[in-house]
């Protein structure tokens, strides 16, 4: 675990999807997501602020990461962001929710995460 004074390296995006969507996500193909609330956990060793701003839509983007494909979907909106000093997979594994899309955001994961996108418990259908 990191010390309380360690700079953040991990972020979580709290996303609301207002309508069901079929999202084409690179090699994962089409991922079908129900309307509701999701949490995506990501990280950046350098340029964390730029990465988060990119995901928030403040920078032009060509889809590069799985989350970019979801965030360009009509009705997808980042409602909140939080930052953590702990490693991405530690934060992801401590995040409650169900896995809507195996492999999403976890193609380079070596810690056994099934997905770095989770559907929040109690999310609307």
- Mean pLDDT in order along the chain per 10 residues (125 residues): 68 96 92 96 87 76 84 93 94 95 89 94 51
Q: Looking at the whole model, is its pTM more than 0.75? A: yes
At residue 123, the pLDDT reads 46
Query: How many CB atoms lie under 10 A from the CB of residue 17?
Result: 23
What pairs with residue 32 in β-bridges? 22
Q: Nearest to residue 55, comparing CAs of 81, 24, 75, 30? A: 81
Q: Nearest to residue 116, comparing CAs of 8, 6, 13, 9? A: 13
Structure-block tokens of residue 102 = 């195996």
What pairs with residue 83 in β-bridges? 11
């Amino acid at each position: 675990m990191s010390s309380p004074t360690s700079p953040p390296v991990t972020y979580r995006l709290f996303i609301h999807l207002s309508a069901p969507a079929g999202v084409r996500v690179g090699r994962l193909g089409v991922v079908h997501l129900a309307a509701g609330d999701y949490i995506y956990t990501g990280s950046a060793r350098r340029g964390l602020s730029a990465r988060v701003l990119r995901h928030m839509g403040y920078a032009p983007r060509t889809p590069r990461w799985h989350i970019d494909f979801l965030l360009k979907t009509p009705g997808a909106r980042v409602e909140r962001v939080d930052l953590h000093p702990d490693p991405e997979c530690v934060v992801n594994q401590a995040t409650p929710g169900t896995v809507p899309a195996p492999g999403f955001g976890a193609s380079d994961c070596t810690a056994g995460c099934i997905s770095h996108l989770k559907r929040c418990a109690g999310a609307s259908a």
